[in-house]
Amino acid sequence: MANRENFVAPKRYNTIAIALIAIGILSTITLYITAGSKDDPHQQARFWGSLLQNSVYFLLVVNAAMFFICATTLAWGGWQMAFRRVPEAISACVPVVGVIAGAILLSICFSSNHEIYHWTDSAHVAHDPTLDHKKGFLNKGFFATVTVLTIVLWSLLGWKMRKLSRSLDENPIPTVEGRKKYMWNNTIWAALFMIVFALTVMSSIPWLWLMSIDAHWYSTMYSWYTFASTFVAGMALIALFVVFLKNNGYLEHTNTEHLHDIGKFMFAFSIFWTYLWFSQFMLIWYANIPEETVYFKPRAQGEFSGVFWLMFIINFIAPILILMSRDSKRNYAVISIMAVLILFGHWLDFFQMVFPSPMTDPKTGVTHVPNILYDLGIALGFVGVIMFATGRALSKAPLVAKNHPFMKESLIHHT
Amino acid sequence: MSLLRYESQVRPPIVDGSKDYHQVTEDICAPVEAKPTKAWWIGFIISVALLLFGVVSIVVEVIYGTGQWNLNKTIGWGWDITNFVWWVGIGHAGTLISAILLLFRQGWRTGVNRAAEAMTIFAVMCAGQFPIWHMGRVWDAFFVLPYPNTRGPLWVNFNSPLLWDVFAISTYFTVSLLFWYSGLLPDLATLRDRAKLKWRKMFYGLAAFGWTGSTKHWQRHEALSLVLAGLSTPLVLSVHTIVSFDFATSVIPGWHTTIFPPYFVAGAVFSGFAMVQTLLLITRKVLGLKDYITIEHIEVMNKVIVLTGSIVGIAYLTELFMAWYSHVGYEWFAFKENRVNLSSPYGWSYWIMMGCNVLSPQVFWSKKLRRNLLLTFFMSILVNIGMWFERFVIIVTSLYRDYLPSSWSTYYTPTIWEIGFYMGTFGLFFVCYFLFSKFFPVIAIAEIKHILKKNGDNWKEGYNKEEGQNYDEFAHDNVHHDDHH
């Protein structure tokens, strides 16, 4: 097969992406008409909740690709160089999805509807001692500032890392000393990204964007849990694009060995997610303190129990049974199916993280599970956006970062 | 010709001194085959003395009961459980290095894994002493084993994390020991084959289990290593997770928090690496192994220390933040009044913990300081002081002010027997380590040979041609198209 170094999106690829975006827009409009445009704030929350769940989930997933790049850079990994341009291209979606998510988050924060973020209702907060106590953290100004700053920083630092990578495409570094200096430069920017990542994804951002939906409830594990959920989904997304490119005759020197290692990440971090899931769930169940169990009541036992246990089966039982074996991690079909399953499973996880609180009727106290088809439709829209943006980013630069100092290591990689 | 292995010259070598296979064997066997030095005897005798102090302290405690310690109704756990958790934590680095770093294909682990694994085993042995002797009526210790018995309906409490500890730690100890010992087999055979004295030949002959180095032996050895690495990886996480459950399943303010399991594991790796640094900085100097435990090894481990220290730091701040955010008065009191407040009785211990564990490791962001041996040695001790205080803070500052102010404890200081017991475990630890470093090769000879031709300084020059090639030339020479998809 001819050596194809530059990605040209097949016509069908862009058609599918645009069709998916159309489905997303259509679902959004339909959901807006059936729920979002109603006078009942509870109905409106159904609409905004879906936008929140989808935009935040997909933003964290595409940003996880840059986390993967920075983590492997700091660890001086070599094996991933063969397909390094794939996570780079995925991370190029961060500004796009970031703008969408930022707009949605700020709209919810500043709207007159307080069903999702109860703490935005100053009249309610005045009568709620707990929310009043949290005012120093849960307030609109702080939320907006942190949200904007975070999305800007992720985008900028990601852009810088991609720029560093592309700077070598036309200018190979001739000396070993020069290569060492290049690695050093990469290390510094990756470390900066990591610090920002630690202060946002690993701590403040999930508290603000997601945990504050259940504004009274708290769990120290929450942010690390959210990180695990989106990182494993991010690895699955990388796997999907690698398989797609291989199937279309690209990435000549990425082979089963690399796929095997990506599969190991999918497997290991599925188990890691389960570990954090279990730690959070078991400790709250064991201590049985009402202020804490209130979170799991509608999820594990109430209306959402179907979604809750289904996502547990998809995110834990399926990976441990299917991805444990060596053969399955080296099989393109199995990896593709599992990647789709993992992406869907953690999307379901976000579904049950977001909806139980806004779907509880404040008057009757009854919780109901919304019709998930709308949310799936909107999710497909985001998938389309990511396909389109990643495809564009892939076609802008050569698919192989040929001149990276560790590139050659990746070519004779054995697992 | 195409390469089977290749490494960029951008990476520094991790075996120095232009070694060949024979020289590796000579260097690492030399301290085992020489007579013990004066320094060794001095260190060994001091360790034995400490161990004896510990034995006396335990004897006193067994005869007169745990009343010999200053524990009371409110502070039911004090130095003993602090020491237990501290030692278990230290016992995490070895298996992390041997198992998880093996799965991550970190070549540098070969320089340090043997000593780190040995240290792990000794640390877990020390840790085990504390819950055992804390039982008071130690002759009933076998009650923790669940088996059909004649004591009527008296079974162990399967709901208790303390029982899970028994299972987790004994499993961890067993697998770590197997991993360490199976790794030793080829090296013990080397020592056997080199032995000139009859008793040495017999001793290493028995210890090597008849290893011949045949292909079949190596094949089984490799398969066993992979299986044990797979088993050890979840075990490394499980042990400190379950230790954290000892606290987190309760409803005690400062103990009941969901982040405890992963943060305990990060803290354990943090303290374990600090202890590896302490020991290896001495070992490489005394045994003359600087070519194998190089400055690169020290630097990489300092990176692990700054990483895990920062993870622990995020966890501390998360806990503190949530104590405020949760709006639970008791939780916030435990943090604000019992810990953060420097003028409270134990406030100083919280700030020692913060200073040693979170602030001080940040110096390792600097490459220059990561490669400074004196600073590394100082930091490695500072970190373990900090990690001891972490457990002390968790245990004592959460307990000493009970829900009822009438039960608030007076200031808790250990008795001489509590201190003696702790010193005794240092004795046990170092007696074991001295014996190990005298009778066993402290570096895995076979594993160094495995990476030598890729990572040895003299061998790296052999890649001059490849380093100079561009991507296409390199791919043309070395990649075979047997993977058509």
Residues B357, B263 contacting (CB under 8 angstroms): no
Average pLDDT, chain B: 92
Cβ contact B479–A411 (<8 Å): yes
Percentage, residues of chain A above pLDDT 70: 99
pLDDT higher than 90, residue A82:
yes
Cβ contact A176–B466 (<8 Å): no
Smallest CA–CA distance, residue A176 to chain B, in Å, is 6
A350: closest CA among A56, A48, A138? A56
Q: In this predicted structure, what is the pLDDT of residue B341?
A: 95
Average pLDDT, chain A: 94
Domain ranges of chain A: 2-411
Q: In this predicted structure, what is the pLDDT of residue B153?
A: 75
Residue B103: list chain A partners with CB under 8 A: 264
Smallest CA–CA distance, residue B481 to chain A, in Å, is 9
Map residue B456 onto helix, strand or coil: strand
pLDDT higher than 70, residue B464:
yes
> Other CB atoms closer than 10 Å to residue B78's CB: what's the count?
22
Q: What Cα–Cα distance (Å) separates residue A299 from each residue in A47, A293, A364, B345, B373? A: 20, 10, 18, 43, 53
Residues B451, B443 contacting (CB under 8 angstroms): no
**Hey, what are A138's tokens?**
């849960």
**Hey, what are A194's tokens?**
């990591």
Q: What Cα–Cα distance (Å) separates residue B251 from each residue in A411, B297, B402? A: 54, 42, 12
Contacts A–B by Cβ distance under 8 A: 118
Residue A129: list chain B partners with CB under 8 A: 327
- Whole-angstrom distance, CA of residue B434 vs CA of residue B439: 9
Residue A403: list chain B partners with CB under 8 A: 470-471
pLDDT higher than 50, residue A2:
no
Place A1 in a pLDDT band, splitting at 50, 70 and 90.
very low
**Mean pLDDT, range A34-61, rounded to an integer:** 95
Q: What Cα–Cα distance (Å) separates residue A178 from each residue in A78, A167, B34, B299? A: 17, 13, 45, 21
**Hey, what are A104's tokens?**
């949605």
Q: What angle do CA B30, B34, B39 make, to 5 degrees?
A: 105
Percentage, residues of chain A above pLDDT 90: 92
> Other CB atoms closer than 10 Å to residue A121's CB: what's the count?
16
Percent of residues in chain A assigned helix, strand, coil, to nearest 5: 75, 0, 25
Cβ contact A400–B471 (<8 Å): yes
pLDDT higher than 90, residue B343:
yes
Give the side-chain half-sphere CA count within 13 A for A119.
26
Q: What is the gyration radius of the CA atoms in chain A, in angstroms? A: 22
B478: closest CA among A161, A262, A407? A407
Smallest CA–CA distance, residue B398 to chain A, in Å, is 16
Cβ contact B11–A255 (<8 Å): no
pLDDT higher than 60, residue B383:
yes
pLDDT higher than 80, residue B483:
no
pLDDT tens figures, A314-326: 999 999 999 999 9
Number of H helices, E strands in chain B: 21, 0
Q: In this predicted structure, what is the pLDDT of residue B99?
A: 84
Residues A5, A399 contacting (CB under 8 angstroms): yes
Domain ranges of chain B: 21-140+158-459
Place B105 in a pLDDT band, splitting at 50, 70 and 90.
confident
B396: closest CA among B264, B252, B251, B263? B252
- Whole-angstrom distance, CA of residue A152 vs CA of residue A148: 6
Smallest CA–CA distance, residue B70 to chain A, in Å, is 29
pLDDT tens figures, B274-314: 999 999 999 999 999 999 999 999 999 999 999 999 999 99
A30 CB-contact burial (10 Å; exposed 0-12 / middle 13-18 / buried 19+): middle
Q: What angle do CA A125, A127, A128 make, to 5 degrees?
A: 65
- Whole-angstrom distance, CA of residue B338 vs CA of residue B163: 29
Q: In this predicted structure, what is the pLDDT of residue B482?
A: 53
Residues A278, A315 contacting (CB under 8 angstroms): no
Smallest CA–CA distance, residue A248 to chain B, in Å, is 10
Smallest CA–CA distance, residue B135 to chain A, in Å, is 25
Enter the ipTM: 0.94
pLDDT higher than 90, residue B403:
no
Q: In this predicted structure, what is the pLDDT of residue B103?
A: 84
- Whole-angstrom distance, CA of residue B27 vs CA of residue B254: 50
Angle between the B109-134 and B416-439 helix axes, to the nearest 10 degrees? 150
What is the maximal distance between C-alpha atoms in chain A?
Answer: 72
pLDDT tens figures, A116-152: 999 999 999 999 999 999 999 999 999 999 999 999 9
pLDDT higher than 80, residue B427:
yes
Give the side-chain half-sphere CA count within 13 A for A130.
15
**Hey, what are B20's tokens?**
């060949």
pLDDT tens figures, B18-35: 999 999 999 999 999 999
Q: In this predicted structure, what is the pLDDT of residue B470?
A: 87
Residue A169: list chain B partners with CB under 8 A: none
Q: Which amino acid is at A97?
A: V
- Whole-angstrom distance, CA of residue B311 vs CA of residue B267: 8
Query: What is the chain A residue with the closest CA to B475?
Result: A411
Cβ contact A218–B322 (<8 Å): yes
> Other CB atoms closer than 10 Å to residue B476's CB: what's the count?
11
- Whole-angstrom distance, CA of residue B230 vs CA of residue B239: 15
Map residue B15 onto helix, strand or coil: strand
Query: What is the chain A residue with the closest CA to B324?
Result: A134
Q: Which amino acid is at B423?
A: M
**Hey, what are B294's tokens?**
């190089």
Q: In this predicted structure, what is the pLDDT of residue A250?
A: 92
- Whole-angstrom distance, CA of residue A88 vs CA of residue A82: 12
CATH class, range B21-140+158-459: mainly alpha
A219: closest CA among A127, A282, A144? A282
Place B392 in a pLDDT band, splitting at 50, 70 and 90.
very high
Q: In this predicted structure, what is the pLDDT of residue B481?
A: 60
A108 or B462, greater pLDDT = A108
pLDDT higher than 60, residue A366:
yes
Cβ contact A402–B322 (<8 Å): no
Closest partner residue to B471 (CB to CB) among A276, A286, A402 is: A402
**Hey, what are B327's tokens?**
């709006």
A163 CB-contact burial (10 Å; exposed 0-12 / middle 13-18 / buried 19+): exposed
Number of H helices, E strands in chain A: 18, 0
pLDDT higher than 70, residue B240:
yes
> Other CB atoms closer than 10 Å to residue B145's CB: what's the count?
12
Cβ contact B322–A220 (<8 Å): yes
Confidence (pTM) = 0.95
Residues A374, A31 contacting (CB under 8 angstroms): yes
**Hey, what are B394's tokens?**
């968790």
- Whole-angstrom distance, CA of residue A110 vs CA of residue B269: 44
Cβ contact A408–B326 (<8 Å): no
What is the maximal distance between C-alpha atoms in chain B?
Answer: 81
Q: What angle do CA A328, A334, A339 make, to 5 degrees?
A: 115
Place B150 in a pLDDT band, splitting at 50, 70 and 90.
confident
pLDDT higher than 90, residue B467:
no
Q: In this predicted structure, what is the pLDDT of residue B390?
A: 96
B164: closest CA among B258, B235, B265, B255? B235
Long-range contacts at B369-378 (CB < 8 A, ≥ 24 apart): B370/B298, B370/B299, B370/B302, B370/B303, B371/B295, B371/B298, B371/B299, B373/B281, B373/B295, B373/B298, B376/B277, B376/B281, B376/B298, B376/B302, B377/B277, B377/B278, B377/B281
B335: closest CA among B265, B410, B256? B256
Q: What Cα–Cα distance (Å) separates residue B88 from each residue in A409, B125, B126, B164? A: 38, 9, 8, 14
Q: Mind giving me the DSSP string for A48-79? A: HHHHHHHHHHHHHHHHHHHHHHHHHHHTT--G
